[in-house]
Chains A and B, each alone.
Chain A
Amino acid sequence: MIIDLEKFMATGRPFWTELEKFLDRLENGTSGRLDLAQLRHFHHLYERASADLAKIMTFSAEPELQRYLENLVARAYGEIHETRERRRRVAFWPWITQTLPQTFRRQVRAFHLSVAITLVGCAFGALAIAFDPEAKSVIMPFPHLQGDPADRVAHEENADDDRMTDGKTSFSATLMTHNTKVSILALALGMSWGIGTILLLFYNGVILGAIAFDYARAGQTEFLLGWLLPHGAVEIPAILIAGQAGLVLAGALVGWGKRIPLTERLRAVAGDLMTLIFGVGLLLIWAGIIESFLSQYHEPVIPYAVKIAFGCVELVLLFLYLSRAGSSGQTPRAP
């Protein structure tokens, strides 16, 4: 049977136009909250367009009309069958006090794994420097770290002029953007079934372990702690959280012991990944400011004890925040 196209279009057009206008309002957010009668009417229009599409696909293959109706049904389908909550505005305070720490705790196993990989890297870096001091030039990427730590400390402590003059803000911005890029890469490499994320965390650990061992062996532990702790107390956990996000993504991709399909697994963690990486971004802004404005100043300008105490306080506060904040509220599901 071939339908009478002219009659079909004349009958259907008013309903299609009304549905189109409805959808425009919904998509632009100008429809407000629909009441029950409006919802029923919207559903009726959707069903009517669906029926028309089915009819034209069965009885007539007029492609232009079919494409038009397919587009209409596709848009209405997305609005009607969507069950995830739509958030047009993000409330920052509830997000920072509840959503972020709760998400961190929900995915804490991946964080533990991230810490473990970094610690293995640290051990590797320390052992490499211990058994082969020549490895320093290969492992340490920054030229100022390749000399004798005692010489560097003496140079930094005896410096007469402030080498950060007129450069603190730009240095801070460079640190923020660079570290955020590395963190996003750690997340994105989760798509390599986690191999890229693991390598990045391991390499980070290797550098950290090598530097720590090098300075500790040279008897410069106090300088090391005073230099690294103020910003590292936030920066290192931030990179670990980025690694956590990458491992969560990898976990969803691999899907060990989960019977749900890949698309559903990825859908389930997508919201958590966004929350974690935005959290990492915030932490790195703070770390960038501290590294530029505090970490680069040593004794006698700022006593090491003050810098170490500052770093310890940051670390404790961050630990309390991630482990306690939002624990009284309801744990939200990933959006």
Chain B
Amino acid sequence: MSKTNTLLIRTPEGVVFSQLLAGPVTRFLAWVLDFFCVLVVLMVVNIILSFAMVISMDMGVALLTLAFFVISIGYGIALEWWWRGQTLGKRVLRLRVVDAGGLRLHFHQIVLRNLLRFVDSLPFFYLVGGIACLVSRRAQRLGDLAANTVVIRIPRLVEPDLEQILAGKFNSLRAHPHLEARLRQRVSPAEAAAALQAITRRDEFEPVARLKLFSELSGHFRAKVEFPAEAVEGIADEQHVRNVVDVSYRPRAADKK
């Protein structure tokens, strides 16, 4: 089976949804953050228990030994249980542990994946876990394989701002309803999506690349349906693509009925 960066789940309703898997580097960074968190907690506990050592050295050392053990093992278990698959490091890097089958994460899965860190962390710096993560199909370390979990990236969920994306203003293509309808018929969903993506991400491109991209896209759409010269001449390629996206995704009011 080939390696994938996406967890695909097909529901009994026939719908497929995907979740982006986290890679070993991001996970390692999250672990480093968690490591420092544990370190800080241990330092605080150490300071608190040093007062107990004044009363009884034996009791203080015993409490310290137990606290170190419980915190270093329990940190991941407790936080992943309370924050539904997230530790502080995972939260910062927008990662989450989920069941590999898309089902609810159970406590015993969290316990198992955290206890198996004992093997994943061998011989040093999670070498075994890192290698397992690199070679496993779904970027799972041994603990994840045993507990049947994966670590996914949580996307930033924002609704698309249609007013910002689509033309919103005068659209010269709308002056020719029959050609507009033909364009909508000939443009495939994939082509429309590519144009929409180009508009959405226009500010991320270098100026030259931006001009070239919109020139190519505009040329492509101009060849699909030939509009009268007054409708397409005198407008920039980017505006033309914006008009095409507007026509594709926002049919005129009469069509909606």
Contacts and interface: CB of A to CB of B under 8 A. Distances in A.
Contact of B250 (A4, A57, A68, A174): A4
B249 A2 contact: yes
B91 interface: no
A314 interface: no
B209 interface: no
A305 interface: no
A196 B192 contact: no
B115 A77 contact: no
Interface band, chain A: 35 or more
Interface string B1-34: 0000000010111111111000000000000000
Interface string A63-79: 11101101101100111
Interface string A163-198: 000111110111011001100110111111000100
Nearest to B251: A4
Nearest to B185: A1
B167 interface: no
Contacts of A249: 146
Mostly, the A contact residues are helix
A100 to B, nearest CB: 14
B219 interface: no
Contacts of A258: none
Contacts of A185: 118-119
Given A54-B14, A166-B57, A169-B59, A266 B145 contact: yes
Interface stretch (B105-113, B170-178, B233-241): B105-113
Nearest to A189: B119
A60 B166 CA distance: 15
Interface string B47-81: 00000000001110111011011000100000000
Contact of A2 (B16, B17, B108, B248): B248
A143 to B, nearest CB: 22
A270 B113 CA distance: 10
A177 B66 contact: yes
A172 B160 contact: no
A172 B146 CA distance: 32
Interface string A151-169: 0000000000000001111
A181 B59 CA distance: 21
B189 A74 contact: no
Contacts of B198: none
Given A188-B115, A188-B119, A263-B100, A73 B17 contact: yes
A33 interface: no
Contacts of A47: 13
Contact of B196 (A57, A62, A82, A181): A62
B69 A61 contact: no
B228 interface: no
A229 interface: no
Nearest to A10: B162
Nearest to A62: B160
Contacts, number: 184
A84 interface: yes
Contacts of A97: none
Contact of A74 (B17, B109, B119): B17
Interface stretch (A112-120, A206-214, A271-279): A271-279
Nearest to A272: B108
B159 A68 contact: yes
Given A9-B159, A60-B192, A82-B104, A266 B14 contact: no
Interface in A1-24: 1-7, 9, 13
A50 B189 contact: no
Contacts of B190: 61
Given A81-B12, A173-B61, A270 B146 contact: yes
A70 B59 contact: no
A62 B155 contact: no
Interface in B121-140: none
A169 to B, nearest CB: 4
Contact of B13 (A2, A50, A62, A65): A50
A232 to B, nearest CB: 22
A87 B109 CA distance: 13
A192 B17 contact: no
A230 B104 CA distance: 43
A27 B84 contact: yes
Given A13-B159, A270-B146, 13 more contacts: A4-B249, A9-B159, A9-B162, A47-B13, A61-B193, A64-B200, A77-B102, A77-B103, A170-B58, A191-B142, A267-B148, A273-B108, A273-B146
Top 6 A-B residue pairs of the complex, sorted by shortest distance between their CB atoms: A61-B193, A170-B61, A173-B62, A274-B108, A169-B62, A188-B119
Interface of A: 1-7, 9, 13, 27, 47, 50-51, 53-54, 57-65, 67-68, 70-71, 73-74, 77-79, 81-82, 84, 86-87, 166-170, 172-174, 176-177, 180-181, 184-185, 187-192, 196, 249, 253, 263, 266-267, 270-271, 273-274, 277, 335
Interface of B: 9, 11-19, 57-59, 61-63, 65-66, 68-69, 73, 84, 98-109, 111-112, 115-119, 142, 145-148, 154-155, 157-160, 162, 166, 184, 187, 189-190, 192-193, 196-197, 200, 248-251, 256
